[in-house]
Chain A
Amino acid sequence: MDGIFQELIIPKYNYWAYIVLMMVGLYAMIAKKNLVKKVIGMNIFQTAIILFYVSIGAKTDATIPILYHDAVHGDHHAEEHVDGHGEEAPHGEIVHESADHGDEHGEAESHGEAHGAAIQAKDYINPLPHVLMLTAIVVSVATLGVALALMLKIYNRHQTLNEDEILNQLSSD
Chain B
Amino acid sequence: MDQFPALLLLAPLFAAFVIFIAGWQGRNIHFPMGVLALAVSAASCLGLLFQVMAEGPIRYRLGGWAPPMGIEYYVDHLTAMVLVVVSAIALVNLIATRKLIEDEYSGKVPVFYTLYMLAVAGHLGIVVTGDAFNLYVLLEISALSGYALLAMGRARAALSTLRYLFMGTVGASFYLLGVGYLYIMTGSLNMQDLATIIPAISSSPAILAAFGMIMVGVWIKSAFFPLHSWLPGAYGDAGNPAAGLIAPLTTKVMVYVMIRIVFTVLSPEMVFSIPDLSNIIVWLASAAIVLTSFSALAQRNVKRMLTYILISEVGYMVGGFWLGNRTGITGAVLHILNDAVMTFCVFLAAGAIMYKLGSTRFEDIKGLFNKMPLTMGCFVIGALAMIGVPPTCGFFSKWYLVSGGFEAGHYQFVAALIMSSLVNIILFFRIFEIAYFEPFAEGHGHGHATHTGAAVDEAPWSLIVPLMITAAALIAIGLYTGVIVDNVISPAIPADIV
Residues of A within 8 A of B (CB): 26, 29, 35, 38, 42, 45-46, 49, 52-53, 56, 90-91, 94-95, 97-102, 105, 128-129, 132, 135-136, 139, 142-143, 146-147, 149-151, 153-154, 157, 163, 166-167, 170, 173
Contacts and interface: CB of A to CB of B under 8 A. Distances in A.
Contacts of B180: 49, 52-53, 56, 129
Contacts, number: 95
B69 A99 contact: no
B177 A49 contact: yes
B296 to A, nearest CB: 21
A146 B165 contact: yes
B389 interface: no
Contacts of A150: 147, 151, 158, 161-162, 165
B183 interface: yes
29 contacts: A35-B162, A42-B170, A45-B170, A46-B169, A49-B176, A53-B180, A56-B180, A56-B184, A90-B205, A90-B206, A91-B184, A94-B201, A95-B184, A97-B187, A98-B183, A129-B183, A132-B133, A136-B136, A139-B136, A139-B140, A143-B165, A151-B162, A153-B151, A154-B162, A163-B159, A167-B159, A170-B156, A170-B159, A173-B155
Nearest to A102: B187
Interface in B278-293: none
Nearest to A98: B187
A163 B188 CA distance: 42
A101 B204 contact: no
A51 to B, nearest CB: 11
A146 B144 contact: yes
Interface of B (DSSP majority class): helix
Interface in B126-151: 133, 136-137, 140, 144, 147-148, 151
Contacts of B173: 45-46, 49
B186 interface: yes
B236 to A, nearest CB: 13
Nearest to B152: A153
B118 to A, nearest CB: 11
B472 interface: no
B156 A91 contact: no
Give the one of B155, B165, B201 with max A CB within 10 A: B165
Contact of B147 (A128, A135, A146): A146
B166 interface: yes
B36 interface: no
B185 interface: yes
Nearest to B164: A150
Contacts of A100: 187
Nearest to B167: A29
B148 A91 contact: no
A101 B169 contact: no
Interface of A (DSSP majority class): helix
B144 A143 contact: yes
A142 B144 contact: yes
Contacts of A136: 136, 176
Nearest to A95: B184
A170 B148 contact: no
A105 B184 contact: no
A173 B185 CA distance: 53
Nearest to A139: B140
Contacts of A95: 184
Interface string B306-340: 00000000000000000000000000000000000
A94 B169 contact: no
Nearest to A158: B159
A99 B170 contact: no
Contact of A38 (B166, B176, B184): B166
A153 B204 CA distance: 47
B159 to A, nearest CB: 6
Contacts of A29: 166, 170
Contacts of B204: 90-91
B161 to A, nearest CB: 6
Given A45-B173, A139-B140, A157-B158, 20 more contacts: A42-B166, A42-B169, A42-B170, A45-B170, A46-B173, A52-B177, A90-B204, A90-B205, A91-B184, A94-B201, A98-B184, A101-B188, A139-B136, A139-B137, A139-B144, A143-B144, A143-B169, A150-B162, A154-B158, A173-B155
A36 B205 CA distance: 37
Contacts of A102: 187
Contacts of B162: 35, 147, 150-151, 154
A98 B165 contact: no
A29 B171 CA distance: 13
B386 to A, nearest CB: 29
